[in-house]
Amino acid sequence: MASLKLLKTRFLEYIEIERGRSLKTVENYDHYLVRFLDFIKTDNPSNITADNVREFRLWLNRQPAGNKKAGQTLNKKTQNYYLIAIRAFLKYLARQDIKTLSPERIELAKVTERSLDLITHSELARLLGSPSGNDLKDLRDKAILELLFSTGLRVSELCSLTSDINLESDQLSVRGKGGKVRVIFISPLAKQSVEKYLAARKDMSPALFVQVNPASGAGKNAKKEAFDAKPLTKRSVERIVKQHAIKAGISKKVTPHVIRHMFATDLLGNGADIRSVQMMLGHSSISTTQIYTHVTDKHLLEVHKKFHNKR
């Protein structure tokens, strides 16, 4: 029988090649499984039992939470990442007809309901209006903000867009998490902002959003930059959003994901059905989309106003 170490390697190759998981996901699964296998101290799949999984969970629950405040332990969401990796590994072993613990014996820890980081509609309007100049940087930043709000794109998806984007249509396809392709829709204002930005571009970079050097001059340096414009990274886009939030006088922390939240709540608050919003966000499970419903249910507000405190 193959050792657990060898089976782990085969499993990681399987999720990378057969399941199309990203290299980052494979690295994370490797990290979680290494810690688990080191803990149970066995190289025999049949020695994985409900008891040593329970002991591992107890150990995991007592681990310090990294660079957070002293006394805090690993949160339940992070603990579940380990359990998801272990369960996926056990499912793989079961498919290989290897005797081991049933994956159904792995139950995830209950986590507190996720809270949404939202800004008000007036704050959103100030944020979108923050880049108001006609220089390349403001045109780029305006296009980024409008496109994020129009489409609900994840920041990684935004950074993967290319400059040959087809703006003749109101929609385009993007490849999201897990390599899944979905259709996103572009509002007229977002389309106009991207067109203005592209018209002002002088570089030859294939990326849609690139770094802008405010000190760009003429001559050889300008020609060099025309070919060497580097694509924006996720961190760069996060900094751009943060800078414009500060400029707009918003005291809350604003990230590209907050704009994605606003995209979803805007749709649901105006009557869109949750299944459609799920598709537009690229959520694999509707339960992920349901976190938005409690902040957009106008019917509940109307009921409260109509029936509460009739004095």
* Residue 133 belongs to some domain of the structure: yes
Query: Residues 50, 133: one domain?
Result: no
User: Please, what is the average pLDDT of the chain?
Assistant: 88
pLDDT of residue 270: 85
Query: Residues 157, 292: one domain?
Result: yes
pLDDT of residue 217: 45
Query: Residues 126, 246: one domain?
Result: yes
Question: Which runs of consecutive H residues, i.e. helices, occur in the chain?
Answer: 4-17, 23-40, 50-61, 76-95, 121-129, 136-151, 155-159, 188-200, 219-228, 234-247, 256-269, 274-281, 286-289, 298-307
> For 142-169, what is the HEC assignment?
HHHHHHHHHHCCCHHHHHCCECCCCCCC
Percent of all residues in the chain with a pLDDT value above 70, rounded to a whole number: 88
* Residue 64 belongs to some domain of the structure: yes
The number of helices, as runs of H, and strands, as runs of E, in the chain is 14, 2
For residue 29, indicate whether it is catalytic.
no
Structure confidence by residue, pLDDT tens digits, 28-71: 999 999 999 999 999 999 999 999 999 999 999 998 877 655 66
Query: Residues 161, 85: one domain?
Result: no
> Of 76, 105, 134, which closes a domain?
105
Query: Residues 283, 155: one domain?
Result: yes
- Output the six-digit token pair for 222: 């300008």
More confident residue, 220 or 31: 31
CATH number at residue 253: 1.10.443.10
* Residue 116 belongs to some domain of the structure: no
Four-CA torsion 92, 96, 100, 104, nearest 10 degrees: 50
- Region 144-167 average pLDDT: 93
* Residue 191 belongs to some domain of the structure: yes
For residue 182, indicate whether it is catalytic.
no
Q: Is 72 left (phi over 0), alpha (psi -120 to 50) or beta?
A: beta
Angle at 204 between CA 213 and CA 189, to 5 degrees: 75
* Residue 213 belongs to some domain of the structure: yes
Strand partners, 174: 182
Query: Residues 216, 76: one domain?
Result: no
Is pLDDT above 50 for 218? no
For residue 177, indicate whether it is catalytic.
yes
> Of 43, 78, 105, which closes a domain?
105
Indicate the number of domains in the chain.
Answer: 2
What is the residue type of 256? Answer: P
Q: Please give the Cα distance from 194 to 259 (Å, whole number).
A: 17
Are the beta carbons of 213 and 225 closer than 8 angstroms?
Answer: yes
Structure confidence by residue, pLDDT tens digits, 244-289: 999 999 999 999 999 999 999 999 888 888 999 999 999 888 888 8
Query: Residues 195, 222: one domain?
Result: yes
Structure confidence by residue, pLDDT tens digits, 165-193: 888 888 888 888 877 889 999 999 999 99
* Residue 296 belongs to some domain of the structure: yes
Four-CA torsion 127, 133, 137, 141, nearest 10 degrees: 20
Q: Please give the Cα distance from 279 to 205 (Å, whole number).
A: 31
Query: Residues 91, 164: one domain?
Result: no
Quote the DSSP letter at residue 223: H
* Residue 113 belongs to some domain of the structure: no
For residue 247, indicate whether it is catalytic.
no
Q: Which domain holds residue 188?
A: 121-300
Query: Residues 131, 218: one domain?
Result: yes
For residue 14, indicate whether it is catalytic.
no
Candidates 21, 57, 154, 191; catalytic one: 154
Candidates 21, 57, 191, 260; catalytic one: 260
Candidates 29, 32, 197, 292; catalytic one: 292
Question: Which runs of consecutive H residues, i.e. helices, occur in 96-212?
Answer: 121-129, 136-151, 155-159, 188-200
CATH number at residue 12: 1.10.150.130
Query: Residues 15, 125: one domain?
Result: no
Candidates 35, 91, 177, 247; catalytic one: 177
Largest CA distance in the chain: 77
Query: Residues 174, 81: one domain?
Result: no
Query: Residues 146, 12: one domain?
Result: no
Instruction: Tell me the three state secondary structure of residue 175.
Output: strand
* Residue 255 belongs to some domain of the structure: yes
Closest listed residue to residue 247, CA positions, set 118, 134, 117, 138: 138
pTM of model > 0.85: no
For residue 283, indicate whether it is catalytic.
yes
